[in-house]
Amino acid sequence: MSFQRFVALGDSFTEGVGDPAPELPNGVRGWADRVAAELSRLDPASEYANLAIRGRKLGPIVAEQIDAAIALRPDLVSIYAGANDILRLSVDLDALLDEYDAAIARLTQSGATVVMFTAHDPGDWPLFSALRGRFAIYNEGVRGIADRHGATIVDFWRIPDYRDRRLWAFDRLHMSSIGHQRMAIAVLEALGIDHALTPMELPAPTTPSTVEQLSDNLAWASGFAAPWLGRRLRGTSSGDGLAPRYPTPTPLP
């Protein structure tokens, strides 16, 4: 299977946050770039656009990215949306999934192959574990939407590799470069595409002391958790002022 034009939609998961690349737009790479590069290796004429912006909730993703994506006439679209809504203090999951369902219907009706994702199981992360039930309900809804519209599903929740914290960035919310590489492999395999990607080598496991764990938790609390909670209280987003990384179809080497 080959695709001529891949358009990626969503939030930080798809923008590539956690996979730093200072030389690239917005300073990140991510799994979608890796998939696009592999599609380009298989077909040098293929093109790629990435409209995802960190911090976006489902409503703005639908409002800002769906029409723009359809206008680009892709034959492959990926979308990950809804996680930022679930992380808010309250959310109407039924309304969220209804809006997502309508958006996926529009994408599949365009004739494109659509790739969707469940969310990761947050049970191992203290700050987010209380929302585990919410994520489980959302994920079951996402699976149902994919079934109804014939979308390809990448079931993030069921990929056991992500139990390993070495696949996660410092902020414990976004995948690391190793995690993004693993996700690119999952997407290509879900699509049935032969590829040359291999998992990145994991650093040696460590057993931090109690003092080291405390120091790491304090650094995380001050460097990520506090600013993240502050933005939630102020109603601002880490993506405010950012533009899409690749707003028009671009060949990637």
In SS3 terms, the chain reads as CCCCEEEEEECHHHHCCCCECCCCHHHECCHHHHHHHHHHHHCCCCEEEECCCCCCCHHHHHHHHHHHHHHCCCCEEEEECCHHHHCCCCCCHHHHHHHHHHHHHHHHHCCCEEEEECCCCHHHCCCCHHHHHHHHHHHHHHHHHHHHHCCEEECHHHCHHHHCHHHECCCCCCECHHHHHHHHHHHHHHCCCCCCCCCCCCCCCCCCCHHHHHHHHHHHHHHHHHHHHHHHHHCCCCCCCCCCCEEEEECCC
pLDDT tens sequence across 155-192: 999 999 999 989 999 887 899 999 999 999 999 999 99
pTM: 0.90
pLDDT tens sequence across 58-109: 999 999 999 999 999 999 999 999 999 998 888 999 999 999 999 999 999 9
pLDDT tens sequence across 103-155: 999 999 999 999 999 999 988 776 677 889 999 999 999 999 999 999 999 99
